Every structure is written in C-alpha cells, then in structure tokens.
A and B are shown apart, each in its own frame.
Chain A
Amino acid sequence: MTHTVVSINNLTCRYGDFTAVKDLSFEVNQGEIFGFLGPNGAGKTTTLRTMMDFIRPDGGSIEVFGIDTRAEPEAIKARVGFLSSELVLWENWNGEQYIRWLEKVRHKPMLEEAQRLAQLLDFEMKRSLQGMSTGMKRKIGVIAALAHKPELLILDEPSIGLDPLMQQVFEELMIEVREEGRTVLLSSHDLSEVEAICDRVAIIREGELQTVENVANLTRLAFRWMNLTFKDEAAPIEGFDRINGVTDISTENGELRMRVSGDADMDTLIKHIAQYPVKDLQFDHPTLEEIFLTYYGREA
C-alpha cells in the first residue's frame, strides 16, 4: 500500500498583492523521488518554505506525515532533511563541527554517515567552511540534509553549483534514498535533472499547478531540438516535413534545425538523415516554457 508522505491541499500564498502560489494541490508518496519543476519565480521555493513552516499559507494546508505543518512543525522537521536553494552556512565552523552540532540538536548520530557521504562527494570535513565555493557549501548542505537518514528529503534546487561529476554522485545518492523506502521532493528548473532521477513530477507555472505526470509520460510528450550539419552541401529540407513527429523545420547558416517530438518516427527520421553525408548532429533540450506550450497545444 502506498502511503502519502506529503499532501498539499489548495495551497495559496500571497506576498501583498502578488499571489505566489494559487490553489496548489498534489501529493507525494512514500518511496518516490518527486520533482517539482518550474521556471524561476514560479512558486517552487514559496511552496517548499511553506512546507517547512517558514511562511504561512493564506489558504489551504499542507500535511507532512499526516501532520499539519502549522500544528507540529518541529515533529515534522525531526523527520525531514531540508536543503535551501540559497544555502548560507555558519562559516566559523568546519564540516565536522557543524555535523557534531547537528547531532546534538537532532539527538541522532550523524557523523559516521556524514563521513561516508563526504567521501562520496569529495568533501573535506575538517576544512573550514569559511571561504568555500558555492559548490563546496552545497556539498555540506547535502551531507547535513542526508546524514540523519530522514524519512523525507526536501531539496530546493539541490544541484546548483555541483559539477557534472558530483551531480552524478548526487543522483546516485537520491536513488539510494529511494531504494531504502525513503522519499525525496526536489525542486528544479532543469528538466534534464528531473528526467534523470524522478518518478513523478509536478509542473508549476506562475504559481499554478500545470500538471502532475509520470516522468516517462513527460519525456514522451516532451520533445528535443535536433540540429544537423551536412558535409559540403546546403541543408536539405525536403522529406523531413513528411516524417511523423518532426515539425518546425528551419535552416540557418547551413544548419538544419527541427523539432522532434517524444513519439516521433525515429526509425524513418534516422534513415532519412542517413541519405546525406552528416557532419554533425546535436540535440538541445527544450526550455520549460516550450514544454508548457506543448502541453497546452500552443505554438512555441
């Protein structure tokens, strides 16, 4: 049986006249990695900060582990690991001192797990936090959020500042958390990040929920931009426009660019391309805005 870990019900948050989150509802189930996707300023951080009881909803409610976030925030936080998008640390400590202090606050052993995570993330625990780069601070933030083995991880833009190698380690850690039956809710404005590890995703735009989808469906519905350069000849447009799922074909500076949908007839497309001497082929991920527009059948 699937347990609901997070339940957001008709959440509305306002900053003065500006409504940051409008009537938002979705649920996160135990043991899943749930992506919360939206462009900057969409209301992701506001929602997560409301979950942590930093700000109070103007309407609706949030339950975490079946507990209203307004009623017993400390009980929830004891079971949650949180990583803020704008992580600021107390710089007069080193990583180990910080984790030892967290052990005292949380009344849980953390150091051994923190040291394991530090090794994976290539982080030096004895090094002072002062003067560390954003990426290094982010690493200790991830370690601090994970080291007490929380039942729920709430991560706001967790991969900011992580290099590609560490991004991969981070993704492996999230998968490890899921395999242990724990839950991850992470926000991102990067579709590829969400695609890589999330099971389901909620897309938010201008404070309103657009959809909650399985990532597999989202990937199918999504599309990529294919950019082709041919050897010694002008880009041939003919024939591409008859292939299913290929649209918006254009040429610029000798490069052929087309939109290839998730359910395009790839076999026909590749065979058609193979008739020509290809010099280069590149894919661009669509922007979130383009995905939104795809969802709503409007032209990009």
Chain B
Amino acid sequence: MQPLMRKFVRDSRKTLIWTAIGVGVYVAMIMSFFPTIAEQGDQFNEILETYPEEIIATFYSGDIADFKIDDPAIFLQTEAVIWIILIMGGMITQQVLGGTINAERENKMDLLLSLPVSRREVLLGRVVNSAVFSLVGLTAIFLPVVLVQPFMESFHIAPDKLALGIYTGFFLLMVQASLTFALTSISPSHTRWAGPLAFTYFFGAYLLMAFAPSIDWIDTISPLFIFKYYNMAEIINNGLEMTDVLVMAVVSVALLGVAFWRFEKKEIAV
C-alpha cells in the first residue's frame, strides 16, 4: 500500500509544488491590496451595493446583506479563496480522471493491477493522493495569510478561525473528488461522460449558485450545489455550521462508497 501511495504522490509532486507556490504567491499578492481596500472601505462598499446581487453572489455565497469588502475574511474569500478552490477543484477532478478512467484507457491500470495489489488499495491510494493535494493547496492559502498579516495592521483574522475557515474547504474538494471517483467507477472506460459530468457539476454548481438569490427554482435546487455548504468568510465571522460539514462529509463518504463498490466490480479498460 505504501509504495503505491508514495508513487501516486511522487507522480503529482511537481504539480503539487508549483500549485502551492502559485497559490501562495497569489494570496500574498492579493493581501497586499487590502490596506487600500480597508482605507477606502466605505467607498468600495457603496460601489459594490450598486452591483446586481448575482454578481456579488458569484464571489460570495453567504448572506449578501453581510457583504462588506473591507472585512478581512470576506475580502480573502471573494478575492482569493473562491478562485483557488475553483482551480483546485478542477485540478483534482483532472487528477482523479487521470488516475482512474484515463489510466484504464492508456493501459496504465493494467500495469498496476498486474501487481499483487487489490483494486481497493489502488483506489485508496488515489483518494489519499487527492486528499494530500487538497490539504497542500489549502495550506498554501493558510500560510501566506498567517505569515503576512503581522505586517498588516488592518488585516487580522485569528489563526485558529482562519485554519477552521480554510481547512473546511477540504470537505468541499473531497466531495468533488469523490463524485469524480464514483463517476469514473460507474462509467465504462470506452464512454466519455464521466469527466464532462464531473466538471459540469462543479463549475455548473458554482455558476448556478450565483443566480440562487434571484431565481426561485435555482434557489430550490441549491441544496444540490456543493458551494452552498462552504463559505470561508462565514465560518470565520459566524462560526462553523456543523450541519454543512456533516452534509459534505456524508456525501463524500457515500460517493466514495459507491466508487469502491463499483471499482471492485468494474471491467478494466472495456
């Protein structure tokens, strides 16, 4: 099991390192704008109030009445975290596809499964790799904020709240990874719908969430969208909603259960 995990992590280490560096630099750069935003907070908020709700909701999935751009948590959420989560979600989806259904098509899965390792171990190795990728990416958001904020008087988020806010994003990313694992385990490798469906769900859910405040039917189905359950700024400012975490955890475990069950029965590369 360990050699498998080490191999999977090793295979993605360059992507992991450069993603972490990129995310870290981006967060530090975005934070450097905050003193200006804080100084002119009233003007910025006035301008933002004139924006349609849908646009604000694109950045901020919480209660729009609470939206203040000079709030450090909301600033970090809207200017960095939401985008990084979107990028990481896309990368994890691609990584899962590469490690499962694409590996089947490229005959790499044959090579792995010709060794005395179980299918469960192979899939578990891939899941651990997605978890490591998520945690490293989230740490790349957390560390620059912790390191930079002592030098910025106007920006302060307690490190424990910051950690809770950022690392809860792990559940969101794992739901997306689990969904992709489930879809790739269900779909025969000659079909091409698992990837598009996984990407459509993730980015579609994000975009539709923006219209939930103003379109009733979208609002009705919004519990199906993963972004409804995670907003870093709300966690930092109002505390963690355990129900949201539970929903994400249960959905993720259920989807992984489907993935393991179906992968065990799957005809590889057929």
Contact = CB atoms under 8 A, between A and B. Distances in A.
Interface of A: 15, 49, 52-56, 73-75, 77-78, 80, 82, 84, 86-90, 92, 101-102, 104-106
A77 B112 CA distance: 11
B110 A49 contact: yes
Contacts of A89: 111
Interface stretch (B3-11, B64-72, B199-207, B217-225): B3-11
B117 interface: yes
B270 interface: yes
B262 interface: no
B235 interface: no
Contacts of B4: 105
B3 A104 contact: yes
Contacts of B109: 54
Contacts of A84: 107, 110-111, 114
A54 B113 contact: yes
Given A56-B265, A86-B107, A90-B11, A77 B114 contact: yes
Nearest to A154: B114
B107 A106 contact: no
A168 B157 CA distance: 71
Contacts of B113: 52-54, 77
A73 to B, nearest CB: 8
A84 B104 CA distance: 13
Given A54-B113, A55-B268, A77-B114, A88 B11 contact: no
Interface in B1-40: 2-4, 7, 10-11
- Contact count band on B: 20 to 34
B270 A105 contact: no
A101 B3 contact: yes
B267 interface: yes
A8 B234 CA distance: 62
Contact of B116 (A54, A86, A101, A106): A106
B214 interface: no
Contact of B270 (A15, A78, A87, A88): A15
B116 A78 contact: yes
Contacts of A55: 267-268, 270
Interface in B98-141: 106-111, 113-118
B146 interface: no
21 contacts: A52-B110, A52-B113, A53-B113, A54-B110, A54-B267, A54-B268, A55-B268, A73-B118, A74-B118, A77-B113, A77-B116, A80-B114, A84-B111, A87-B111, A88-B108, A88-B110, A90-B111, A92-B10, A101-B7, A105-B117, A106-B116
Contact of B267 (A56, A78, A80, A106): A56
B187 to A, nearest CB: 15
Contacts of A78: 116
B208 to A, nearest CB: 35
A90 B114 CA distance: 14
Nearest to B265: A56
Residue among A56, A74, A86 with the highest chain B CB neighbour number at 10 A: A74
Contacts of A15: 270
A105 B110 contact: no
A77 B113 CA distance: 9
Contact of B115 (A49, A75, A92, A102): A102
B114 A82 contact: yes
B265 A54 contact: no
A241 B63 CA distance: 97
B269 interface: yes
Contacts of B107: 84, 86-88
B33 to A, nearest CB: 39
Contacts of B117: 74, 77, 105
Contacts of B7: 90, 101
Contacts of A87: 107, 111
Top-3 shortest CB links A-B:
A78-B116, A82-B114, A104-B3
A80 B117 CA distance: 12
A7 B76 CA distance: 64
Nearest to B267: A55
Residue among B2, B106, B114 with the highest chain A CB neighbour number at 10 A: B114
B57 to A, nearest CB: 42
B111 A77 contact: no
B193 to A, nearest CB: 17
A96 B113 CA distance: 20
A180 to B, nearest CB: 21
A221 B113 CA distance: 39
Given A53-B113, A84-B114, A105 B108 contact: no
A87 B112 CA distance: 11
